[in-house]
Structure 1
Amino acid sequence: MAAAVKLRRDYSASDLRRLAAASKHANQSRRLLSLAAVLDGMDREQAALIGGMDRQTLRDWVHRFNELGPDGLRDIRSKGHPPRLSKAQLAELSAIVETGPDRALHGVVRWRRVDLKQVVLERFGVDYHERTIGKILKALGFSHVSARPRHPGQDPKVIEEFKKTSPGP
């Protein structure tokens, strides 16, 4: 059977408990308390149960603690996927949306997400879902605005005559 990984000794069990109490990260606190139990001489399997993990996971956290100290016990958040459009391409897309479509060239009178999806694919070679195009537009500061429908044969004189005016006092 392999020997247990040695835990660094520059922190005492009480130091780790104090750090756990002061931490604003629950997972880091659990890990610190498990390591404090190890320093107190508790069996590693029992110490792992304190933190809600198995012995192998505790061993992995011991490696991180030895390498990075208490801050190494925090969760590392993913930064997500890198953006597929550069800042220059996003600025160009913003200009395209701002100027609006050319009816002869694009075949539409106003931009829809499906149309912009096609423009982005043709211009930049990136295929986004329509929903993602909407998220990009929102991030660029655009909002969905839909004009109130108006019939092309609408007559302003008829509208004025139809309005009901109440007599003044």
Structure 2
Amino acid sequence: MPVPRARQIVLTACERRRFKQLAHSHTAPYQQVVRVRIVLDAAHGYSNARIALRQRVHLDTVRRWRGRYADQGIDGLKDRPRSGRPPRFTSVQRAEVTALACQLPTETGTPLSRWSSTDLAREAVGRGIAEAMSASTVRRILAADVLKPWQHASWIFVRDPGFATKAARVLGLYQRLWDGQPLTGDEYVISAEEKTSIQARCRCHPSLPPGTARMMRVNHDYERGGALAYLAAYDVHQARVFGRCSPKTGIIPFMDLAEQVMAQEPYASARRVFWVVDNGSSHRGKAAADRLTARFPNAVMVHTPVHASWLNQIEIFFSIVQLVVTPNDFTSLDQVEDRLIAFERRYNETARPFRWKFTLADLEDLVARIERHEQKELHFQQPAGCDYQPAALQATA
């Protein structure tokens, strides 16, 4: 009886190069890597028994994948469709679990603030949706609809009646517009704010730098060395930062920052310098605007809407500064101040203006969405005879 001969495998240069990459891949599935190595050994002329020894697999495994590649090429190395185990849970049960996850726990009488997969599995069993269900099963069911009820994100609704008008002024300045007219070359836009309560935490043991297979280590125990505030003004179009440290915030520290900026060129002789600020107590309302203009006649204070500090570009710079003071490991407040001022100098050497993407057109879209939302709320909630007008409509009236 003739002995069956191993199938002959011949690879082109392109196929061989591709297979070698797969054979040494650290990200491809392990089963695919083994199959590719079997084909490469077969192309080198090794016998099936020799390949089985080299790849540490069974002889029948070598015969199977060698034969499939000879018949079907690269597609033969893929797994064939399988029926799999019959589903344990019906589509109705899956829908009931999804519906349960889309309710707040308090609405179901469960004393929780958020669902976890374990809590959902327990609740599903308790309600009789299934006799038994694991947390991993719940996660797989919810993954089909990209649901993660154990996570949450906070939000705040626009409540400033002048939101659209105030936001339009700020966004116009970022585009070098004021009252519909382009700014001249001797007009500047400054974004200013305070970063409060930067602490000096002296760790009880020195921090350890990163090492092989080890991240940076910072001791948890520390001694408090006090806190300070970092006040900064950012030239939106020139990408220059002017900062100073103060024991606390207030009108006097803010005016000292304004003096630091307005006393130097080109701001001292500028036609106008617009100061974009939020509604913090140091620079809130018309009194603060009048105080700034009285001190510097060419200064114009422009407030962002209430609860809209994200419109202030200095917040982007402060998010960068947060990386300078984290993790907090300082022996004194003097060291904190030195670090901040040194970073400020370094930043100014290479800084470029931020690519601000929220434009006046985006603001119009946002206001339109707010109007639609408030009109829907008004339709369902407004009592008879109420003359309520949505905030966004008041802003654009």
TM-score norm. by structure 2 comes to: 0.28
How many residues align? The count is 143
**What's the counterpart of residue 13 of structure 1?**
10
Residues 54, 137 of structure 1: alpha-carbon distance in 2 compared, 3 angstrom cutoff: closer
Cα offset for 1:90? 3.4
Code of the aligned partner of 2:147: G
Hey, what's the Cα distance between the residues in 1 that align with 2:95 and 2:18? 44
Q: Retained in 2: the 8 A contact 1:44–1:55?
A: yes
Q: Retained in 2: the 8 A contact 1:5–1:62?
A: no
Cα offset for 1:30? 1.2
Cα offset for 1:51? 4.8
Code of the aligned partner of 1:4: P
**What's the counterpart of residue 142 of structure 1?**
148
Cα offset for 1:68? 3.2
Q: Retained in 2: the 8 A contact 1:20–1:30?
A: no
**What's the counterpart of residue 63 of structure 2?**
59
Cα offset for 1:50? 5.2
Cα offset for 1:145? 4.7
Hey, what's the Cα distance between the residues in 1 that align with 2:151 and 2:62? 53
SS in structure 2 of the partner of residue 99 of structure 1: coil
Residues 30, 133 of structure 1: alpha-carbon distance in 2 compared, 3 angstrom cutoff: same
Code of the aligned partner of 2:36: S
**What's the counterpart of residue 94 of structure 1?**
98
Cα offset for 1:69? 3.1
Q: Retained in 1: the 8 A contact 2:102–2:149?
A: no
Code of the aligned partner of 2:110: V
SS in structure 2 of the partner of residue 13 of structure 1: coil
Residues 73, 101 of structure 1: alpha-carbon distance in 2 compared, 3 angstrom cutoff: closer
**What's the counterpart of residue 158 of structure 1?**
none
2:18 aligns with one of 19, 22, 31: 22
Hey, what's the Cα distance between the residues in 1 that align with 2:61 and 2:135? 41
Hey, what's the Cα distance between the residues in 2 that align with 1:135 and 1:43? 44
As a proportion of its length, which structure holds more helix? 1
Residues 58, 115 of structure 1: alpha-carbon distance in 2 compared, 3 angstrom cutoff: closer
Structure 1: stretches of 5+ with no match in the other structure = 147-165
Code of the aligned partner of 1:98: C
SS in structure 1 of the partner of residue 133 of structure 2: coil
Code of the aligned partner of 1:57: T
Cα offset for 1:108? 2.1
**What's the counterpart of residue 108 of structure 1?**
110
Residues 21, 54 of structure 1: alpha-carbon distance in 2 compared, 3 angstrom cutoff: farther
The Cα offsets for residues 60-116 of structure 1, whole Å up to 9 and x where unpaired, read as 32333344333323567999867644555434333223333577xx65244644542
**What's the counterpart of residue 37 of structure 1?**
44
Give 1 or 2 for the bigger CA radius of gyration: 2
Compute the RMSD of aligned alpha carbons.
4.4
Structure 2: stretches of 5+ with no match in the other structure = 24-32, 153-248, 253-397
Residues 75, 168 of structure 1: alpha-carbon distance in 2 compared, 3 angstrom cutoff: same
The Cα offsets for residues 10-41 of structure 1, whole Å up to 9 and x where unpaired, read as xx5343x6423223532243122222133xxx
Hey, what's the Cα distance between the residues in 2 that align with 1:60 and 1:99? 51
TM-score norm. by structure 1 comes to: 0.52
**What's the counterpart of residue 4 of structure 1?**
4
**What's the counterpart of residue 178 of structure 2?**
none
Hey, what's the Cα distance between the residues in 2 that align with 1:65 and 1:144? 46
Residues 86, 37 of structure 1: alpha-carbon distance in 2 compared, 3 angstrom cutoff: same
